[in-house]
Amino acid sequence: MEYGLKPLGRERFWLLLLLAPTLIGLIFGAFGSILATIILSFMKWDLLTPPTWAGIENYIALFTNEKFNTALTNTIKFSAMYVPGVVIISMFVAILLNRKIKGVTVFRTIYFLPCVTSAVATALIWNMIYGKDTGILNYVIQHLGGQSICWLCTDKAMMSVVIVNIWGAIGEGMIIFLAGLTAIPREYYEATKVDGANEIQQFFRITIPLVTPSIFFMTLIATINAFQAYDYIYMLTRRSQGDSSVPVVVFSIYRNAWNFFNYGGASAQAIELAIIVIVLMGIYFWMEKRFVVYE
């Protein structure tokens, strides 16, 4: 498939010139860092003395590093709950807000608000909601006759942070799904209505197939975000000195690099995380070919 017009002659020069700032930033910023991380993952480096070659030592250490494996398990569990949660809920919200109802812009703004609010500030609010003895949520539960729940205790903390992360990402997902939904031509609905299809049939036969590109894109974004999730988790589950009751891989990378003088090990962890994401992306793109409908 080809899009748009091909730049010709002088246009090509201007095109490159205008893209240069971004491209140079990408080459040195992103690709440079990726390359440096790959090289450092084969080195032993404490940041203060020159790095020495370590071969695959850092990678072997990953298998025996209990803390890293706990973190990796947590990241995978987190992603397994977060990704479907975000995709389904934000699609649902987008469908609800894709109609002519009064004050639809207000609702859309409200759902988008968490995306533009500081994660640290909102996490503090969530802390007040989740508190065991002082929290708003338990206050409500108790008044309804229920028992207080320790939302941020180790057994529930994972679920609680997943909820906050989903809540924080609905806005972004909603925008993506709204774009997908508004692109569906109204004629399809009108034509099927004439043919006698009800709303449920329309939803499964028209809406879902035609938003599959959005579902695909959102799943991709959500997966990447899930593997990088840090701010809400940190604010809600942190303990002293960078420890957390739900330590995810990002915690482990940060602590190894900056607290434990183990930059090489941290790089290896980052690379392993990247490989997992790349493999998942591969699977997604394979699925895209089979299930995603482009008009």
> Where along the sequence are the contacts to other proteins (CB under 8 A)?
46-49, 67, 124, 127, 130-135, 150, 152-154, 239-243, 245, 255, 258-262
Spatial contact of 244 and 238, defined as CB atoms under 8 Å apart: yes
In angstroms, give the least distance from the CB of 21 to other proteins.
Answer: 21
In angstroms, give the least distance from the CB of 243 to other proteins.
Answer: 5
CA dist 184 and 178 (Å) reads 10
Reported as type and span, the H/E element at residue 8 is none
Reported as type and span, the H/E element at residue 52 is strand 52-53
Q: How far apart are the first and last CA of the chain?
A: 12
In angstroms, give the least distance from the CB of 62 to other proteins.
Answer: 15
Q: Which is nearer to other proteins, 125 or 278 (CB)?
A: 125
Q: Which is nearer to other proteins, 19 or 56 (CB)?
A: 56
In angstroms, give the least distance from the CB of 16 to other proteins.
Answer: 22
Q: Which is nearer to other proteins, 6 or 239 (CB)?
A: 239
- Concatenating the DSSP letter of every residue in 191-260 gives HHHHTT--HHHHIIIIIHHHHHHHHHHHHHHHHHHHHH--HHHHHHHB-GGG-BSS--HHHHHHHHHHTS
In angstroms, give the least distance from the CB of 257 to other proteins.
Answer: 9
Residues across the chain: 295
In angstroms, give the least distance from the CB of 47 to other proteins.
Answer: 4
Q: Which is nearer to other proteins, 42 or 130 (CB)?
A: 130
- Structure tokens that stand for 275 in this block: 């490989």
Q: Which is nearer to other proteins, 258 or 285 (CB)?
A: 258
Reported as type and span, the H/E element at residue 43 is strand 43-44
In angstroms, give the least distance from the CB of 259 to other proteins.
Answer: 4
Residue with tokens 């940041």: 47
Neighbours of 211 (CB within 10 A): 24
Q: Which is nearer to other proteins, 67 or 193 (CB)?
A: 67
- Structure tokens that stand for 211 in this block: 């938003």
Q: Which is nearer to other proteins, 42 or 234 (CB)?
A: 234
